Amino acid sequence: MEFTAARNSDIDFISRGFSEIKALPTVKGGPAYADPEWIASRLELRIDPLYQLRQFSIAKINSHRVGFIQILDFKLLQEHFRFYKALGLYDVNGEVLNFKNPLSIINSIYVCESFRRRGIGRAMIEQVKNNRERRMGILYSKYNFENIELYLNSGFVKFVPDYNDIKRNEEIFLMLEQIVSND
């Protein structure tokens, strides 16, 4: 598998993939949804700090695009979530909003349907973790529970340990990359 930085020629692939990602939920109980045209316009205009081509890596097998991963500075997402939580759109756990350490966050992972369950998502996560400058994290909720096992198996641990006692599927939590000591 080959990983390349996203280019203008990848915008359609990324924007179509976003429409298939099970996004974090809104307070109303459904996922936040952005249609492919909206995502493409954000990437093309280069004015939205949450949607910049430089944040994406493309996974390829035999020169065929099979997935992408997007990495953001966590401070960008904290500002975004604070604003939208105040408007009542997201239910973000307070521990997430108050997290202070430098962190890069995996904002999106996408694998083409015909290539799923082949370890591509995990390989993208490992590639990012091996080439990072800071600790990695990922946001999740009970709403997208089917992804939690992938995150745990990829070396992430739940930042809020009482997650299982949470009743609201819409509440958003943080997982952090487990740092293994060489001691």
The pLDDT tens digits of the residues spanning 9-47 come to 999 999 988 878 876 666 665 555 567 888 888 889 888
Q: What mean pLDDT is reported for the chain?
A: 83
Structure tokens that stand for 92 in this block: 């973000």
Q: Using CB atoms within 10 A of its CB, is residue 59 exposed (0-12), middle (13-18) or buried (19+)?
A: buried
Instruction: Confirm if 147 and 171 have CB atoms less than 8 A apart.
Output: no
pLDDT at 165 over 80: no
DSSP, collapsed to helix, strand or coil, labels residue 27 as coil
pTM: 0.85
Instruction: Confirm whether 182 is domain-assigned.
Output: no
| Domain enclosing residue 8, as ranges | 2-177
Instruction: Confirm whether 143 is domain-assigned.
Output: yes
Instruction: Confirm whether 167 is domain-assigned.
Output: yes
**How far is CA 167 from each of CA 121, 157, 164, 170, 172, rounded to the nearest angstrom?**
28, 20, 8, 9, 12
Q: How many domains does the chain have?
A: 1
Instruction: Confirm if 59 and 125 have CB atoms less than 8 A apart.
Output: no
Looking at residues 106-117, what average pLDDT do you find? Answer: 91
Instruction: Confirm whether 183 is domain-assigned.
Output: no
Q: What CATH number is associated with residue 134? A: 3.40.630.30
Q: What is the pLDDT of residues 40-96, one digit of tens each?
A: 888 898 888 888 999 999 999 999 999 999 999 999 888 888 888 887 777 887 888
Instruction: Confirm whether 94 is domain-assigned.
Output: yes
